[in-house]
Amino acid sequence: MKRRILAVLAYMLPSFPLGYLWHLTVFADRYRELAVFRDVLFVPLGVLSMSIQGIAWALVYEKCFAGRPVLQGALRFGAIACPIAWSYMVLAVAAKHHMASVSGFVAIETAFVIVQYIVVSPLIAAVYAPGGPGRARAA
């Protein structure tokens, strides 16, 4: 259970500030040009969404990749998680929402998803790597 919580945190703790900085600071003007976001964001829904994603990814990693070295686990997890995340964070949003440029949104949001999974994949992998945090140590 401790590892699961750490894996959820390994997803959420970098994702929230990265998402905030990317969408609302560094590229805020570009997203305004794209007319993607509402004027007032409801941050608790974003945090809830991230929590659900973190729980799901922790369970997936635990069942499919636990016990692998960090690099191997991160690459395998990222190869599965990143395209799935891209499908619901980029393609589904572009298909359903009004925006000034679908291709512009797909480009900038694809870059975000890639950066996000480059950051979170090794962190989650480190939690489940042999000898990783939360593992009971022999006395």
Q: Domain segments of the chain: what residues?
A: 2-128
Query: With helix as H, strand as E and coil as C, how does the chain read?
Result: CHHHHHHHHHHHHHHHHHHHHHHHHHCHHHHHHHCCCCCCCCHHHHHHHHHHHHHHHHHHHHHHCCCCCHHHHHHHHHHHHHHHHHHHHHHHHHHHCCCCCHHHHHHHHHHHHHHHHHHHHHHHHHHHCCCCCCCCCCC
Give the pLDDT of residue 139.
Answer: 41
From CA 99, how far away is CA 101, in angstroms rounded? 6
Please compute the mean of the pLDDT values over residues 34-38 and round it to a whole number: 91
The per-residue pLDDT of the chain, averaged, comes to: 93
Please compute the mean of the pLDDT values over residues 15-38 and round it to a whole number: 94
Q: List the structure tokens of 134.
A: 């939360």
* Per-residue pLDDT tens over the stretch 72-129: 999 999 999 999 999 999 999 999 999 999 999 999 999 999 999 999 999 999 999 9
Give the pLDDT of residue 135.
Answer: 60
